[in-house]
Structure 1
């Protein structure tokens, strides 16, 4: 089976759980029950795992998260590998608004418009909205930002009653922990319900 390359965009003041939640789900997903057990035992992830997850920032240099934790990304947007899945996490509105002003980052996201999935977590929907990719699409975001997202991007069909919204190859999710729901949903779409239930049980996450 093809190993999907998953890139997670990082930026200053990004919310930690927005990107570590999906990263943990996808990194620990296994092809079968035996591999899942081995994954929990061994220090290093199996080379047969279905998802390879890495982080990307504009320059590839260290970023400071909203909670103050510093993270050094694996790649910059100029040298990142080809992607099958792109995940855009969120953060405080001032942070995502700053990213929306960066044309280079928006152009880089748009370049991936035809990959298997482009995803946002929480207010990462603002960044996708700034690219135009969500125009005329259904999408969601953090519950406190739903009305503002609709005001800023009136062409988006904002959905308020779902944690994960799937429209074409675009997945958007609600606030913070909803990124875990989104990642489990991705696993189900790609590997099937058994695999998604297995990883949800492994991380002891009660999916809603």
Structure 2
């Protein structure tokens, strides 16, 4: 009789194990293209190798994680540009965000083509009067004086209902004028650290820091540091593995995530 009970028990255990095995297979490992903002970002493969469409090395991930990435709401970023804006200040982060699959549009005070660093003309997509809503508002360095960033622009910035603000280089002065750096920690172009501190004494300004993340306000150091800050934004929203894939896609091998300061992790 004991043997019969033991056989029944083992049979029951065997049934439970066999039922559990198929469920484990519902979340298999798959291989996907590193983010390149192409249609192949939505494809999945069953073995390692290179993407046949763009040539990116395929990345191993879980099917469930891949589905979560695909289901995420697209991120919309507004780039406010002004006459005299530094080219790499906005072009570097723009490359990062586009590779990450984010929606980027440009805004200026009016539709007149603006001159970036005296050599490049840029026609904005929108003006401060008709710009659509965005998740993130980004501002950049170059000429950020009162003749360019006047009260109309500052009033527009203050009205924006965004999730976060992002500045590169002396774009921090624009956020400061809008009162967005009060009682926060920030950074800017290395030659403007003292000037930013004098202009906005309520702000703690740090040197030798690639970016400072206060949660809803992120500032970066000068020019190329904007790329690091943009990758940090991608990491916050999509994870480090995804951000690293973006860095590889744009061949930026200098990214060190820990080079920035994240306050209140």
Give the TM-score band, short-chain normalised: 0.7 to 0.9
Counterpart among 150, 153, 161 of residue 105 in structure 1: 153
The verdict on how the C-alpha distance between 1:101 and 1:198 changes in structure 2, with shifts beyond 3 A counting, is closer
Distance 1:7 1:110 in 2: 14
Q: Which residue of 1 aligns with 2:79?
A: 8
The verdict on how the C-alpha distance between 1:188 and 1:99 changes in structure 2, with shifts beyond 3 A counting, is farther
Are 1:160 and 2:207 an aligned pair?
A: yes
Report the 3-state secondary structure (helix = DSSP H, G, I; strand = E; otherwise coil) of the residue aligned with 1:60.
Answer: coil
Report the 3-state secondary structure (helix = DSSP H, G, I; strand = E; otherwise coil) of the residue aligned with 2:251.
Answer: coil
Distance 2:185 2:147 in 1: 22
Tell me, yes or no, if the aligned pair for 2:190 and 2:208 is still in contact at 8 Å: no
Are 1:118 and 2:169 an aligned pair?
A: no
Offset, 1:17: 0.5
Deviations 1:22-67 (A, max 9, x none): 11100011xxxxxxxxxxxxxxxxxxx3x10011101122100114
Offset, 1:104: 1.1
User: TM-score, normalised on structure 2?
Assistant: 0.67
Counterpart among 169, 172, 181 of residue 219 in structure 2: 172
**Once superposed, what is the RMSD of the aligned Cα atoms?**
1.3
Structure 1: gaps spanning 5 or more residues: 30-48
Q: Which residue of 1 aligns with 2:144?
A: 96
Counterpart among 134, 137, 142 of residue 86 in structure 1: 137
Counterpart among 111, 114, 117 of residue 60 in structure 1: 111
The verdict on how the C-alpha distance between 1:26 and 1:153 changes in structure 2, with shifts beyond 3 A counting, is same
Offset, 1:71: 0.6
Higher relative contact order (CA 8 A, sep 6+): 1
Q: Which residue of 1 aligns with 2:98?
A: 27
User: TM-score, normalised on structure 1?
Assistant: 0.85
Deviations 1:90-120 (A, max 9, x none): 10xxx201267511111111112x5221010
Tell me, yes or no, if the aligned pair for 2:83 and 2:148 is still in contact at 8 Å: no
Q: Which structure has the larger Rg over C-alpha atoms?
A: 2
Distance 1:16 1:180 in 2: 12
